[in-house]
Amino acid sequence: MKIRYIIAGLSLLFLSACSSTGLFILNSTLKLKSDHTVARNLQFGDAQWQQLDVYIPATESAGAKPVLVFFYGGSWDSGSKEMYYFVADAFVRLGYVVVIPDYVKYPRARFPMFIEDGAAAIAWTKFNIKDYGGDPDNIFVSGHSAGAHLGGLLLTDESYLEKYHLSPLDIKGFSGLAGPYNFTPTRPNLVEVFGPEENFPNMQTMNFVNGNEPPMLLLHGAGDNTVGVRNQEVLIEKLSEVGNTSRGVLY
């Protein structure tokens, strides 16, 4: 999966842009250099926050381009699509059409509303990206931290995409960075986001793996003190049990 090498490089970008100041500096520098078209604030649902940006390579090439849908992180309570211009820039330079959606966050909403937003964004991409030069049959999904959890759950729990008559296998591959795929909330704010306790199994990807998942590349930093690497290990173990050609990388 070609995208794995790109994501590995992006992991280094995340390390350098881990603060809001780092993001501002990195995004500002890239905007001075980039040459592409951006379709901003496209609605993928009826709610005010259900908007996405589409980044389109300026270079002409024969045929439709591969597509990346990227879900950013932020502990399910912060972040915006504008903060992750540097992700779009990296992939646009490689010929991808890039989609970065916003999604609802706590305290406005609780689980599973932000997962449902993610499904709606993928459905919009599948049914509309051809109008922006993208190939609807060549869509990849990626995410970082909470965004990796969002993407990972969408592609294991089939119920979210089924609403749009889609399947996880409509996605060519998934790559996640530092995803909390299988944790149990203990901090009061996260219990509030995902609770009550009997709901916790519904937020854990390991409970939905059945062999109908696309290939996955999961990356995790060895020094990550926020998201435990066991999240990645458990998901890889479950995927391996059903014969999925996925890979975990500790860097």
Q: How far is residue 67's CA from residue 112's CA, in Å, rounded to a whole number?
A: 25
d(CA 162, CA 164): 5
pLDDT digits (tens, 9 = 90+) for 198-222: 999 999 999 999 999 999 999 988 8
- Are the CB atoms for 129 and 96 separated by under 8 Å? no
Q: What is the pLDDT of residue 27?
A: 47
Domain boundaries, the chain: 3-250
**CA dist., res. 107 & res. 182, Å (int):** 22
- H helices of 98-184, in order, are 113-128, 146-154, 159-162
| pLDDT single digits (tens) 132-141 | 999 999 999 9
Q: For 35-82, write each residue's pLDDT tens digit.
A: 789 999 999 999 999 999 999 998 767 789 999 999 999 999 999 999
- CATH code at 3-250: 3.40.50.1820
Strands (E), the chain: 36-43, 51-57, 65-71, 97-101, 134-144, 173-177, 216-220, 247-250
